[in-house]
């Protein structure tokens, strides 16, 4: 189903680029191509990286009131993994900027339970190392936001 949506979005993007009906009409030389270039760039970025650019995801989430769904992975609670930025404490904890202290604390507790070294001790060594690194980033992010 995801491939079908990807193909559909790609085809619609190409139709928009070729279509004479645009946000900025193509009748205006150079200026009329700006929106076509932008749509083409977003399509190319999505094909290269498997997700929408961050600013497009944030814009779409602002319109819909939902979190970005441009390819970022999410866990069982629906929170985003930190594919946006490992330095952003909000992204590490999977909360939106401006989240309340209770939301931050709850997200922190859920992430700690999921990635605590004792919880993954039965998994392979590689998973234990990844979980340990993630756990450290979670601790650092919570300290920054506290």
pLDDT in tens, 56-69: 777 777 666 555 44
Q: What would the pLDDT profile of 68-121 be if each residue is shown by its tens digit? A: 443 444 444 444 443 445 678 888 888 888 888 898 899 899 888 888 888 878
Look up residue 33 and give its DSSP letter: G
Minimal CA–CA distance to 16: which of 44, 42, 35?
35
In the chain, the DSSP E strands lie at none
Query: Do 27 and 35 meet the contact criterion of CB atoms below 8 Å apart?
Result: no
Minimal CA–CA distance to 116: which of 133, 102, 103?
133
Tell which wins on pLDDT, 11 or 57: 11
pLDDT of 85: 57
Contacts of the segment 123-129: beta carbons below 8 A, 24+ positions apart: none
Q: What would the pLDDT profile of 12-47 be if each residue is shown by its tens digit? A: 888 887 777 777 777 777 787 788 888 888 888 887
- Tell me the pLDDT band of 127, cut-offs 50, 70 and 90: confident
Cα gap 115→22, rounded to integer Å: 47
Query: Do 24 and 35 meet the contact criterion of CB atoms below 8 Å apart?
Result: yes
Cα gap 66→133, rounded to integer Å: 28
pTM of the model: 0.42
Share of the chain above pLDDT 90, in %: 2
pLDDT of 84: 47
Q: List, in sequence order, every residue forming a beta bridge with 74; answer none if it has no partner.
A: 80
pLDDT of 83: 47
């Amino acid at each position: 189903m995801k491939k079908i949506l990807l193909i559909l979005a790609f085809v619609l993007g190409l139709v928009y680029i070729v279509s004479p009906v645009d946000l900025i009409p193509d009748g205006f030389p150079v200026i009329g191509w700006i929106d076509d270039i932008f749509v083409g760039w977003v399509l190319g970025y999505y094909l290269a990286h498997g997700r929408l650019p961050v600013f497009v995801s944030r814009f779409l989430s602002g319109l819909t009131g939902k979190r970005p769904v441009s390819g970022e992975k999410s866990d069982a609670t629906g929170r985003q993994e930190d594919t946006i930025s490992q330095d952003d404490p909000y992204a590490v904890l999977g909360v939106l900027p401006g989240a309340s202290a209770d939301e931050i604390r709850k997200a922190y507790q859920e992430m700690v339970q999921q990635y605590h070294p004792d919880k993954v001790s039965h998994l392979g060594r590689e998973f234990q190392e990844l979980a340990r690194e993630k756990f450290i980033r979670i601790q650092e992010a919570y300290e920054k936001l506290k």
